[in-house]
A and B are shown apart, each in its own frame.
Chain A
Amino acid sequence: MLVYLAKRLAYTVPIVFSVALVCFMLVHLSPGDPLISILPADASVELEQRLRIQYGFDRPLPVQFWIWISNALSGDLGASIANGRPVLSEVLQAVRNTLLLACTAAVLGFALGMFFGLVAGYFRDSWIDKLATSIAIAGVSVPHYWLGMVLVIIFSVQLNWLPAVGAGPGNWSWTWTHLQYLVLPAVTMAVIPMGIITRTVRALVGDILSNDFVDALRAKGLGEGRVFLHVIKNAAPTAIAVMGLQLGYLLGGSILIETVFSWPGTGFLLNTAIFQRDLPLLQGTILVLALFFVFLNLFVDMLQAMIDPRIKRG
């Protein structure tokens, strides 16, 4: 197990480096001068020049990359051009919010998806299966920004039960004052992973049930409840792998939902950074998100290796 862990950790080093390089290149290849957004229209050439040197935009790209990456390694991602605050604290704050939202949505989606998938697979072709499958198809097909707006109209505007936007006043706390802000975006976000997990698990259960060992379990006198338990344990590794990928998408692909609900997470931050051409902020956010993906996959691999003995360790 330790050898496996060490190996997987070693693999992440070149991946992280390439990711950093690519996101640096992408940002600098895109058109537009980062200074335009902060310079007043009548700024002198001198001022522009001074700022350019101050931010280091005058140096050759490889040098800029080197400075950026070595600073990044020591935890300094530079300062935002738009508001001058350190990128790292901005990003970390946003990451925390996104994590909160994505994890809530993932837990919700995974729990519901596992439930629907297991039930649908076990009672294949029954009305329960048809119901669960319909929910799953609706889940993956409905555009979630649209669903988000519909939910806002119903629960915020019409019923006035839940707030429509933001993450609540001040710092986050686990109280209803803040939690009520989480409900609508989390539910909206959970719908897609729920649909995908449902479909995956339903197919998996079908496969597992067609195995001889299910007959063998019944043949040794286990009741259906116990057999079901074996089915769950057999389905879990794959379901977790799929969920890991989904969590990745939720962390990175939440721009639309965060924008609809003005949730102050990384998606929202990226959106702002792009529109303000805030290069340091953009680079920092992308890098942190990419690192997230890498470590998330690592974590999922470890988890799988722990549950399913057939995945080779070492």
Chain B
Amino acid sequence: MKPVVSVRDLTVSFHGERTVHAVNGVSLEVRQGEVLGLLGESGSGKSVTMRALMRLLPRKRTRIAGSIEVDGRDVLAMKDDELSAMRGKVVSMIFQEPALALDPVYTIGAQIAESVVRHEGKSMAEGRERALEMLERVRIPSPKRRLDAYPHEMSGGMRQRAMIALALACKPKILLADEPTTALDATVQIQILLLLRELQAEMGMSVIFVTHDLGVAVEICDRVSVMYAGKVAETGTLANLVRDPRHPYAQGLLSSTVLGARRGERLTTIPGAPPSLSQPPQACSFEPRCRFAVASCAIQRPPEVDLGERRMARCIFAEKTASEKIASLQPTPA
């Protein structure tokens, strides 16, 4: 099966007053109808990767290398008009803070209709009809009235529903969701997740879902890529990754959450802090914080180890499970 999104060795760096190597060789693959979670802490390059997929990064200061293929087309080679024809039609995006992602001086109806008019050559009136249909679909209460509402007149959860309606108005194949539930409170969060999952199944969409919250990823993702310092540390199915993480960062991440932890036991943390990204990494970025690191980790970049079943971990010890790694530490005194 051919993937709908295929990213190979993507590197993104920003050049301005100071240089930041935000993404350093990311490879991703999403198949039709699949939900891929991009999991990682702030600054790990998840959002930058997403924006690179739509080429939304500021052109002057950004350098992008590698290859991005969306729906069989090379995104990095697209001209401006091809790009804007793709955005919203083939790939759509929803944002972290819907209050900031909707234009404050246009009504919700007008904003959705604008997208329909742009991509399907319909009239504004037909666009509004589609808008109404979409608002019903995302189950906004009294949708007719909401057509003429401005973003500031709605609650956070309702705004995110409107944002989803906007993003899905032209039935895109791929939805990029950039932490869409982070700014919402917990009860609304789960409603939005369920809605997204439902719409995704109905429309057969592929979704890339960015989050830093493992609990959210568990609710919605089929597969997960864990990102660290601008690289994918580990990729695999959600089940594999949760049960049997192979990269020490993924292992640390899992043992630092309440997921599957026992009551009364202290959660472990990962010591240290993520590296500065002012230089492109020459070795394993996680080496300074890794308790299993050996001399070679600090010298060369670890290979992507293929573990079968579309599973990958970027670690020389990827073949070993967490407990095997810990066991191998025992002979040497701490």
Give the interface of A toward B (CB within 8 A). Answer: 211-213, 215-224, 226, 230, 233-234, 237, 307-310
Contacts and interface: CB of A to CB of B under 8 A. Distances in A.
Given A220-B167, A222-B114, A307-B105, A213 B100 contact: yes
A223 B150 contact: no
B185 interface: no
A285 to B, nearest CB: 40
Nearest to B97: A212
Interface string B80-95: 1100111111001101
B31 interface: no
B102 interface: yes
Contacts of A219: 54, 56, 87-88, 92-93
**Highest count of chain B CB atoms <10 Å: which of A220, A230, A234:** A220
Contact of A221 (B104, B119, B150, B163): B119
A234 B105 contact: yes
B86 A221 contact: yes
Contacts of A307: 105
B44 interface: no
Main secondary structure of the interface of A (DSSP, over half): helix
A218 B84 contact: yes
B174 to A, nearest CB: 12
B92 A308 contact: no
A208 B200 CA distance: 32
23 contacts: A211-B100, A212-B95, A213-B102, A215-B51, A215-B56, A216-B101, A216-B163, A219-B56, A219-B92, A220-B114, A220-B115, A221-B89, A221-B118, A221-B119, A222-B114, A222-B115, A222-B118, A223-B84, A233-B106, A309-B105, A309-B152, A309-B153, A310-B150
Size category of the B interface is 20 to 34
Given A211-B100, A224-B80, A310-B150, 5 more contacts: A215-B101, A220-B87, A220-B114, A230-B103, A310-B105
Nearest to B91: A219
A310 B97 contact: no
Contact of B85 (A211, A218, A221, A234): A221
Contacts of B68: none
B84 A222 contact: yes
B154 to A, nearest CB: 12
Nearest to A230: B103
B166 interface: yes
A222 B150 CA distance: 20
Given A212-B97, A218-B56, A310-B150, A223 B104 contact: no
Contact of B102 (A216, A222, A309): A216
B81 A223 contact: yes
A34 B183 CA distance: 70
A165 to B, nearest CB: 45
Contacts of B89: 221
B150 A309 contact: yes
A213 B103 contact: yes
Contacts of A308: 105
A107 B89 CA distance: 41
B104 A218 contact: no
Contacts of B81: 223
Nearest to B102: A213
A230 B102 CA distance: 11
A51 to B, nearest CB: 61
A127 to B, nearest CB: 14
